[in-house]
Amino acid sequence: MPLYGGIEGGGTKFVCAIGTGPDDIRAEIRFDTGAPAETLAQVATFFSEHQALGPLSAVGIASFGPIDPDPTSARFGYVTTTPKPGWAHTDFAGAVHSMLRVPVGFDTDVNVAALGEHRWGAARELDTFVYLTVGTGIGGGAMANGALIHGVMHPEMGHIRVPHDLALDPYPGHCPYHGDCLEGLCCGPAIEERWGVPSENLAPDHPAWELEARYLASGVMNFLLTLAPQRIIMGGGVMHQQQLFPMIRRYVLELLNGYLQAERVIADIDNYILPPGLGDRAGVLGAIALAEGVHRCELPALDRAGV
Amino acid sequence: MPLYGGIEGGGTKFVCAIGTGPDDIRAEIRFDTGAPAETLAQVATFFSEHQALGPLSAVGIASFGPIDPDPTSARFGYVTTTPKPGWAHTDFAGAVHSMLRVPVGFDTDVNVAALGEHRWGAARELDTFVYLTVGTGIGGGAMANGALIHGVMHPEMGHIRVPHDLALDPYPGHCPYHGDCLEGLCCGPAIEERWGVPSENLAPDHPAWELEARYLASGVMNFLLTLAPQRIIMGGGVMHQQQLFPMIRRYVLELLNGYLQAERVIADIDNYILPPGLGDRAGVLGAIALAEGVHRCELPALDRAGV
């Protein structure tokens, strides 16, 4: 039976795992993201220390971005223009391929999490859905017609524009590029700046959450109407605040206002907007699913044939 | 050589054509949309009067909506909950199939226009793009990974929420469901209500167009960041105002504000947001392309085998 490696390479932490799926993870490690050389050395050490588990058939990488996910590009597998110190223009997938010598799949953290949810989580048997993460930033991955969306570069759903109620909420927004885009209004740091305390210290009935839910509902509304997803999965640190889900659902219903074209969404809203089936493990398990897809020749990879 | 029928069934006018592509339309008719029985009789008369052109291999329908475009549904081919008198729950594709006895493809007017642009227009060789129409309403069709997006029902891009500058523009919006959604702020009737004259009577330097371009740019920005399309094609009556294109491009660049993830868009914005290659014929030619796709078994159809 093939064995896979998965790497969730986040901007703040890395998770590496070896296994075949959620019920069969044979080794796992997590560590803080440092400079590329040091971090990639930790990745190499993990896989090398677990060689006794058997040879890997493929590895999947869920990478923080921006990245080049285009398999026809010379820069496929690179982290590109990130402000993260040392990481700009790093050949992430190439480095992993050099150390492990197996085909390496590579995509955005959110697209890979979407893949994990499709394989084992809340998006099984769907072909068009959105996976959103709301945490330090806001990102979205999506599948349409059974394949992850890339297009020109990759989606950057966190940066869409939504109505900002300046009378109620004069906070200018956290995004250095767009000020009060969705991420600028709703990411974890925006909550902290607006209310003066880290979001996890706010009581579940603090008015911060109603405001947060209102803005997130505008984002959900826009993704719903643009992609017609069969489901919208919302994960990430901020969404650990479970009280957000019923509020977001209520605001989305308010915004839809009985719009007939959305009748299937309206009729089953509790089952339409929901947390990831894999919880916080969507990323690393998605990386295993990506490796599996690569091994089955269903998804592109760096050097499929090995060197 | 196979011959195809195309039907662009719009809410205000119908266009029927027989041919194989933009340079080979052998017969065409357009008439106002009336009640279903009368309108479908006119469709039947057109095809019956042109039988001498030869047998049709398939027919494609670009339909006003909402529709059921799901080929696995018992209501595939129906116009569903439209407020248009007489048309709610009309078996449009079924009626066409009964009269012509060939496989019938069926999709939204905007998805079919997108297909036409993909086959012969501004989206050739792209696999992920958006086709927007701005006219009496606003609608969007999209292809992702080479296939039209359906998901749950179909996209309703006109109804996304965008920032509304109430200080500058107190107009409450035209949409009966959502007030100041994108369609509510930007459709032709909204322009007329806001300024008191039909939009086509406003001079090209009237401030109406700057406002229109600003709102449309917010919509374009959101579609860009959600789908990462390789191109955004904008057609429809309002977009006949060619002065809108440079304004929209300028406002999109302002909104992106140098955002690095969009560098490829920014570098070539004139080639990114542009009018349909097929002009106002994207719909009816898309219907011919749909028929072709059906005939080649690349797209679903009502009763592919004929009766």
Average pLDDT, chain A: 95
Count Cα neighbours of B57 within 13 Å in the Cβ-side half-sphere: 16
pLDDT-based confidence at A236, cuts 50/70/90? very high
Residue ranges of the alpha helices (H) in chain B?
Answer: 36-49, 92-100, 109-120, 182-186, 188-195, 207-227, 244-256, 263-267, 282-295
* B65 → chain A, closest CA residue: A261
| Domain ranges within chain B, ordered by starting residue | 3-112+280-295, 123-275
Which of B115, B185, B222, B271 should be substituted to probe chain A, the one whose Cβ sees the most A Cβ atoms within 10 Å?
B222
Which of B68, B73, B160, B182 should be substituted to probe chain A, the one whose Cβ sees the most A Cβ atoms within 10 Å?
B160
Q: Shortest CA distance to B105 belongs to which of B55, B155, B56, B143?
A: B56
CA–CA gap between residue B60 and residue B296 (Å, rounded):
13
Is B52 exposed, middle or buried (CB count within 10 Å of its CB: 0-12, 13-18, 19+)?
A: exposed
- ipTM of the shown complex: 0.94
Residues of A in contact with B217 (CB under 8 A): none
Number of H helices and E strands in chain B, helices first, is 9, 12
Residue B138: its pLDDT value, please? Answer: 96
Structure tokens at A299: 């998804």
CA–CA gap between residue A263 and residue A257 (Å, rounded):
11
Quick check: B152 and A260 CB within 8 A? no
* A79 → chain B, closest CA residue: B261
Residue B307: its pLDDT value, please? Answer: 32
CA distance A110 to chain B (A): 13
Quick count: other Cβ atoms within 10 Å of Cβ B295? 22
Q: What is the mean pLDDT of residues A172-197?
A: 97
Fold match between domain A3-112+280-295 and domain A123-275: yes
Quick check: A227 and B228 CB within 8 A? no
Residues of A in contact with B227 (CB under 8 A): 142, 149, 151, 155, 226-227
CA–CA gap between residue A114 and residue A132 (Å, rounded):
9
Which residue among A150, A164, A178 places its CB closest to the CB of B257? A178
Strongest mean pLDDT among A148-162, A214-228, B82-96, B258-272: A214-228
Contact B191, B237 (CB under 8 A): no
* pLDDT tens sequence across A42-57: 999 999 999 999 999 9
The domain defined by B123-275 folds into: Nucleotidyltransferase; domain 5 (3.30.420)
Number of H helices and E strands in chain A, helices first, is 9, 12
Quick check: A149 and B65 CB within 8 A? no
Check whether A138 has a pLDDT greater than 70. Answer: yes
pTM for the model:
0.95
* A140 → chain B, closest CA residue: B226
Contact B114, B148 (CB under 8 A): yes
Residues of A in contact with B128 (CB under 8 A): 149-152
Residue ranges of the alpha helices (H) in B142-187?
Answer: 182-186
* pLDDT tens sequence across B156-199: 999 999 999 999 999 999 999 999 999 999 999 999 999 999 99
Tens digits of pLDDT across chain B (307 residues): 899 999 999 989 999 999 999 999 999 999 999 999 999 999 999 999 999 999 999 999 999 988 998 888 889 999 998 888 999 999 999 999 999 999 999 999 999 999 999 999 999 999 999 999 999 999 999 999 999 999 888 899 999 999 999 999 999 999 999 999 999 999 999 999 999 999 999 999 999 999 999 999 999 999 999 999 999 999 999 999 999 999 999 999 999 998 877 878 999 999 999 999 999 999 999 999 999 999 999 999 997 543 3
Taking the CA atoms of B187, B183, B190 and B89 in sequence, report the sign of the dihedral they define: positive
Quick check: B140 and A227 CB within 8 A? no
B7 strand-pairing partners: B16, B61
Structure tokens at A108: 């955005």
Residue A166: its pLDDT value, please? Answer: 92
- Gyration radius (Cα) of chain B, Å: 19
Residue A83: its pLDDT value, please? Answer: 82
Is A265 exposed, middle or buried (CB count within 10 Å of its CB: 0-12, 13-18, 19+)?
A: buried
pLDDT-based confidence at A259, cuts 50/70/90? confident
Contact A134, A141 (CB under 8 A): no
Residues of B in contact with A78 (CB under 8 A): none
Residue A276: its pLDDT value, please? Answer: 98
Residue A304: its pLDDT value, please? Answer: 58
Q: Shortest CA distance to A150 belongs to which of A68, A59, A63, A65?
A: A68
A207-227 vs A244-256: helix crossing angle, rounded to 10: 50
CA–CA gap between residue B235 and residue A75 (Å, rounded):
35
The domain defined by A3-112+280-295 folds into: Nucleotidyltransferase; domain 5 (3.30.420)
pLDDT-based confidence at A307, cuts 50/70/90? very low
* B131 → chain A, closest CA residue: A226
Q: Is residue B7 within a helix (H) or strand (E), and if so which, with residue range? A: strand B4-9
